Chain A
Amino acid sequence: MTKDHGGDVRLSGISKTYGSFTAVHPLDLTVPEGSFFALLGASGCGKTTTLRMIAGLEEPSSGTVSLGEQDVTRLPPHKRPVNTVFQSYALFPHLDIFENVAFGLRRRGIRSVKKQVDEMLELVQLGEQARKKPHQLSGGQQQRVALARALINRPKVLLLDEPLGALDLKLRRQMQWELGRIQTEVGITFVHVTHDQEEAMTMADTVAVMNAGRVEQLGSPLDLYENPRTTFVANFLGTSNLIEAEVDSKSGGDIVLKAGDGKLVLPEARCSAPATAGGRVLVGVRPEKISLTHADDAGDVPVGRNRITGKITATSFTGVSTQYAVDSSVCPEFVVYVQNIDRDPRLVPGADAVLHWSPAHTFGLDAAQDIDAGVETVEEEAAV
């Protein structure tokens, strides 16, 4: 893409307070030109406020917003080369689909809009619906109109505020793919706000996880998932098993930890907390990285793997995998996902089992945090 299509979005020390409530703590964020960037967090974490400050619909209490070389902090929304797809689409009910899509062009004084609007409606497969009113379309179609209405202006940045939130699951998956395709096609920078961690991970190149008005961690979906640096990120993105452990010693780039009676090994490079002998850290491991062996075969577990013993309390078969809940002395509910390749029929609730995994799949977090951060919020969102 050529330079006139882009420029990075740079937020410097941007914050927003309402009276005594701080919606967004001063944050610095750079969204590279042409990237698909996601702001992920539970409702009320400040992600939408951040988006609205980029759009100009909210004035920051401090800090600046820049698009490329231009400081746009004081520019009103209609003077910013930025367009938004709103959560409830916000289509104009008194205008038909054609006029909704043409709105931005007409406001900028462009006379012959027919060709462009027709092309844009083709892109989102709504050519037939041009003369209908928004309320005559389905939710998915309205969503595509909202997208077309924003994209037709060729903004430097497209902001998407939970654009898929109102769609049912199947349509949402389809639109996720569709949005990804359109982004690659037009090459415009997308900033996508969502509370759906799966959506953020599948669509975005870079994800910023927000919590309580702060960016907790920023990185590629893979990096965030494999190397979470806070308990919130570990719990909010997927599921993590967290064990509180004491630092015993260090040897050759590894940290040896004591958890209950057993010993666990953690590569020093994967520990985001300072680890001094006698200090405490949280040891984390993802459920799918763990292997489950019946206690009778404990001798078969290879040496050098982290291991924990426990009793299976529940199992649930999900087709692709089987999920086990294991009660152990170091963690009351260890979650394990096992692929259904060779199912051991002895692994039923009540059976004693050994959980083991490679030390390389272990990560370490600062023990001073709330071990359950990010857990409830996920459930709350699911209930909405």
Chain B
Amino acid sequence: MALLRWTKRHLVVLAGLLTLGYLLLPNVVVTVFSFNAPKGRFNYEWQTFSTDAWTDPCGVAGLCRSLSLSLQLAAWATLGATVLGTMIAFALVRYRFRARGAVNSLIFLPMAMPEVVMAASLLTLFLNLGAQLGFWTILIAHIMFCLSFVVVAVKARVMSMDPRLEEAARDLYAGPVQTFVRVTLPLAAPGIAAGALLAFALSFDDFIITNFTAGSTVTFPMFVWGSAQRGTPVQINVIGTAMFVVAVLFVLAGMIVGNRRKRQKP
């Protein structure tokens, strides 16, 4: 009886903890196995604790080259998709033009289309154009599929922005450029940042579309996939764990800054 009552009272906390565990368990496994010293080529069974992989993360041929390529691709794709997506979002919210409705729906198409279909179509397109598969074809593809996500994120923000704020800026002697830089951009920034983060994450770990459009170029997800056929080096876990830690640090930093701001101005 007492146990039942206790469960009832803490059901929400319990459910929350279980869900959190469910979400974090894979990360825990990745982290733990980054300290493994596997026998043979596969890192699937726990053997003994070792920091070998951490002291030599680039020890596997091609790994760091693929990682650097993926980071570059993600950076450029984020930049391209964020700039274009922000402009599209402003156009869709602020201006009334012919085919606005059509554009509004078409922009979601890449999100709805099965990725593998899109990947195959892109390959067909690139081949027909006679394009050399590699960095540029991957980048074009990444910007394309990140675009819709940026548009959605920025659009939501711009729609909630009061156009009178920009009118107030113009009224207070700010020219078009100053109005944009001093008022519009800071107000839209949270939406743009959310879109950019999403674009970075999507581009960095995309496998299907990249695989079709890469030619002989190897990105980090492709490297992981390729090595999984022949054996999984511990360094993959090291990179994975490092990415996770960096992301957590970013979130923590954001929370600390936010809290301090709140405390400063009660």
Within 8 A of B (CB), among A129-148: 131-133, 136
A-B contact pairs, 6 of them (CB 8 A): A77-B171, A86-B164, A91-B168, A92-B183, A107-B173, A132-B265
* 6 cross-chain pairs, A with B, having the tightest CB-CB distances, nearest first: A104-B172, A90-B168, A107-B173, A90-B164, A77-B170, A94-B186
Among A76, A87, A132, A153, the residue within 8 A (CB) of B170 is A76
Whether A86 pairs with B186 at a CB distance below 8 angstroms is no
Whether A133 pairs with B265 at a CB distance below 8 angstroms is yes
Whether A78 pairs with B170 at a CB distance below 8 angstroms is yes
Whether A153 pairs with B173 at a CB distance below 8 angstroms is yes
A253 within 8 A of B: no
How would residues 77 to 109 of chain A score, 1 for a CB under 8 Å from any chain B CB and 0 otherwise?
111001110111011111000000001100110
Tell me the complex Cα distance, A107–B164, Å: 18
Residues of B within 8 A of A (CB): 162, 164-165, 167-175, 178-179, 182-183, 186-187, 265
A54 to chain B, nearest CB (A): 11
A149 within 8 A of B: yes
A360 within 8 A of B: no
Tell me the complex Cα distance, A76–B170, Å: 8
A182 within 8 A of B: no
Whether A78 pairs with B165 at a CB distance below 8 angstroms is no
Whether A131 pairs with B265 at a CB distance below 8 angstroms is yes
How would residues 227 to 248 of chain A score, 1 for a CB under 8 Å from any chain B CB and 0 otherwise?
0000000000000000000000
Whether B167 pairs with A107 at a CB distance below 8 angstroms is no
Whether A57 pairs with B167 at a CB distance below 8 angstroms is yes
Residues of A within 8 A of B (CB): 55-57, 76-79, 82-84, 86-88, 90-94, 103-104, 107-108, 131-133, 136, 149-150, 153
In the bound complex, residues from chain A placing their C-beta under 8 Å from that of B182 are 103, 107
**What 11 new A-B contacts, CB under 8 Å, besides A56-B170, A88-B162?**
A78-B170, A78-B171, A86-B168, A88-B164, A93-B187, A103-B174, A107-B173, A107-B182, A132-B265, A149-B172, A150-B171
With contact pairs A94-B186, A94-B187 given, residues A108 and B168 touching in the complex (Cβ less than 8 Å): no
Beta-carbon nearest neighbor of B179 in chain A: A78
Tell me the complex Cα distance, A132–B171, Å: 23
With contact pairs A94-B187, A132-B265 given, residues A78 and B164 touching in the complex (Cβ less than 8 Å): no
A84 to chain B, nearest CB (A): 5
Tell me the complex Cα distance, A56–B179, Å: 15
With contact pairs A93-B187, A94-B186, A107-B178 given, residues A136 and B171 touching in the complex (Cβ less than 8 Å): no
Whether A86 pairs with B170 at a CB distance below 8 angstroms is no
Whether B170 pairs with A57 at a CB distance below 8 angstroms is yes
Interface centre among B165, B167, B173, B265 (most CB of A within 10 A): B173
In the bound complex, residues from chain A placing their C-beta under 8 Å from that of B183 are 92
Tell me the complex Cα distance, A108–B175, Å: 10
With contact pairs A77-B167, A90-B162, A93-B187 given, residues A153 and B172 touching in the complex (Cβ less than 8 Å): yes
With contact pairs A93-B187, A94-B186, A131-B265 given, residues A86 and B172 touching in the complex (Cβ less than 8 Å): no
In the bound complex, residues from chain B placing their C-beta under 8 Å from that of A153 are 172-173
Beta-carbon nearest neighbor of B173 in chain A: A107
A128 to chain B, nearest CB (A): 13
Tell me the complex Cα distance, A94–B265, Å: 13
Tell me the complex Cα distance, A131–B266, Å: 11
Tell me the complex Cα distance, A257–B168, Å: 55
A82 to chain B, nearest CB (A): 8
Interface centre among A94, A132, A133 (most CB of B within 10 A): A94
Tell me the complex Cα distance, A77–B179, Å: 12
Tell me the complex Cα distance, A104–B182, Å: 12
B264 to chain A, nearest CB (A): 9
B184 to chain A, nearest CB (A): 11
Among B167, B175, B178, B265, the residue within 8 A (CB) of A90 is B167
In the bound complex, residues from chain B placing their C-beta under 8 Å from that of A56 are 170-171
Tell me the complex Cα distance, A150–B187, Å: 21
Among B162, B173, B187, the residue within 8 A (CB) of A104 is B173
Tell me the complex Cα distance, A136–B265, Å: 9
A302 to chain B, nearest CB (A): 58
In the bound complex, residues from chain A placing their C-beta under 8 Å from that of B174 are 78, 103, 107
A100 to chain B, nearest CB (A): 9
With contact pairs A93-B187, A94-B187, A131-B265 given, residues A103 and B172 touching in the complex (Cβ less than 8 Å): yes
